[in-house]
Structure 1
Amino acid sequence: DPVGNIRYDPSLGGGATWDVGCYAFDVPLWAFGRAPERVRARFHSAGGAPVDTSGVATLEFGDGRVAQIDYGFDYGPCARYELQGTRGWIGVRNAWTGPDEECVITVVTDEGWREEVLPGADAYEHQAAAFAEAVRTGRAPLVSLDDSQRTARVGEALVEAARTGADVSL
């Protein structure tokens, strides 16, 4: 229900792009190890919502590397992604779910396929533990400030692309 839900409050950075889309567009950033060269995006606001409630985007990384993503509040839970390459693909189901759901990773190549099932986990608990470990030991955090800033820049570019209807270069 949007009433009173901070995810629907534009003054608090609400909207599907920042709430759930960030997971979708962060996957190719990690897979390719950098920000895209160009993005395009379209958003939808269901029922007159003051924020985007779903979105689709294309991220172009150059050399034929492209990511296509979709996300939103408008449809049921969907926490999966696929990475496709010239020699196969990797699919991950229940990638961002809680401790009650297993994460299933499927790897398919010319040589066959295999599945790996990981037990459910509390992502927030793991994040807090990793942060505490970094503080305690002085080691660099798993996700650097540069990584976080890169993700934010891509999110801002997607918002701009959806607002203007034009591709945005990074």
Structure 2
Amino acid sequence: MASTMAWGVLSPAGIAVNKVIPGMLKSPGVRLAAIASRDAGRARAAADRFGVAKAYGSYEELLADPEIGAVYNPLPNHLHVPWSVAALRAGKHVLCEKPIALTAAEAADLVTVRDETGRQVLEAFMVRQHPQWLRVRDLVRDGAIGDVRLVQTTLSYFNVDPANVRNKADIGGGALYDIGCYAVLLSRFVFGAEPRRAVSLVDRDPDMGTDRLTSGLVDFGEGRRLAFSTATQLVRAQRMEIFGTTGRIEVPVALNAPQDGTTTILVDIGGAIDGSGIRSETLPACDQYMLQAETAMRVFRGEEAAEFPIEDAVANMRVVDALYRSGANGSWQDV
């Protein structure tokens, strides 16, 4: 059995304490050694919640701790690259929340620093480890629904709290950064290809300045495309559909699969209008955040090469960049 790896967490952010840390702690290979916050009291409260001995009142203190081999970075979007770079230069491997950066150019700095330090940095898109998406990809690769031409989705939730980081335009808030990046990522995952161009229509909140509704088309060439809408001020939804020439796959809970429950995908062969061709497949219970941590640890230990190295995060950000440019000027943008 592989030895444990000591982790430090930069901030008791909601995603960290509600999802990622509980998932990580299910892995016997994870030893959570420290939690940091700029507010020492918040760090101590989170550490006590999870039975962690060390609580630091600054990120610098955590990065200086020689015991820690890996860092999870759930800070607001504009702090992803600066503190991931600091962690790499402190000799730590890094698992950083999505989106990895605010621009592809900024994300590319992580490639340079990874190569300089010899430490790995990965983007925390937990969906790529979930069995439901691995099954979807297998079905597509096996030709179960013919030639895949369209990925279609609406990803949305309702949040109008101006104090929430997702609603602060100057630090990377907005629908496309927060959840639209998943639509881009999963279409690239399904097609196994990189898009050529993108176009979008953006509606911004008049007070907060964030994109509250962004709709887009992403062209992968050869008749393949992603069609999506992503929103921060609509009813919650996250159903995704993959359309082929002979069938369709539907993923009812595309992103927030239950951490300890089964998931179901729907496979429609033939497209009978009465739904008679639809079959359901139930995937076993799992925690995608635990799987994400275990995948990261194997890469950090050098036991396997990263299937999605940080260059993949840069590629995803190129699409996001193109969509934001298109929203500003109203035309197709090359990726």
Q: Give the TM-score of the pair, scaled to structure 2.
A: 0.47
Q: How many corresponding residue pairs? A: 170
Find the counterpart in structure 2 of residue 125 from structure 1.
290
Task: Note if 1:76 corresponds to 2:241.
Answer: no
Find the counterpart in structure 1 of residue 312 from structure 2.
147
Find the counterpart in structure 2 of residue 99 from structure 1.
259
Q: What does residue range 30-49 of structure 1 map to in structure 2 within 5 Å?
A: 30-46=189-205, 48-49=207-208
Find the counterpart in structure 1 of residue 214 from structure 2.
55
- State the SS of the aligned residue for 2:215: strand
Larger RCO: 1 or 2 (CA < 8 Å, sep 6+): 1
Distance 1:38 1:18, change over 3 A: same
Whole-Å Cα distance in 2 between the matches of residues 53 and 101 of structure 1? 31
Find the counterpart in structure 1 of residue 164 from structure 2.
5
Structure 2: 5+ residue stretches without partners: 1-159, 272-276
Q: CA deviation at 1:9?
A: 1.6
Whole-Å Cα distance in 1 between the matches of residues 286 and 229 of structure 2? 24
Find the counterpart in structure 2 of residue 16 from structure 1.
175
Q: Which amino acid aligns with 2:188?
A: L
Q: Give the TM-score of the pair, scaled to structure 1.
A: 0.89
Q: Give 2:187's match in structure 1, choosing from 28, 45, 48.
A: 28
Whole-Å Cα distance in 1 between the matches of residues 282 and 207 of structure 2? 40
Query: 12-21 vs 92-101, which deviates more?
Result: 92-101
Q: CA deviation at 1:102?
A: 4.5
- 8 Å contact 2:201–2:330 — kept in the other structure? yes
Find the counterpart in structure 2 of residue 161 from structure 1.
326
| CA offsets 1:15-49 (integer angstroms, 9 cap, x no match) | 11010111112121112222211110011123532
- State the SS of the aligned residue for 1:48: coil
Which structure's CA Rg is the greater one? 2
- State the SS of the aligned residue for 1:157: helix
Whole-Å Cα distance in 2 between the matches of residues 152 and 78 of structure 1? 23
Query: 26-35 vs 43-52, which deviates more?
Result: 43-52
Structure 1: 5+ residue stretches without partners: none
- 8 Å contact 2:162–2:168 — kept in the other structure? no
> How many percent identity over aligned positions?
28
- 8 Å contact 2:250–2:266 — kept in the other structure? yes
Distance 1:101 1:40, change over 3 A: farther
Distance 1:155 1:121, change over 3 A: farther
Whole-Å Cα distance in 2 between the matches of residues 119 and 7 of structure 1? 32
Distance 1:100 1:154, change over 3 A: same
Q: CA deviation at 1:137?
A: 3.8
- State the SS of the aligned residue for 1:155: helix
Whole-Å Cα distance in 2 between the matches of residues 127 and 54 of structure 1? 29
- State the SS of the aligned residue for 2:267: strand
Query: 134-143 vs 69-78, which deviates more?
Result: 134-143
Distance 1:69 1:137, change over 3 A: same
Task: Note if 1:108 corresponds to 2:273.
Answer: no
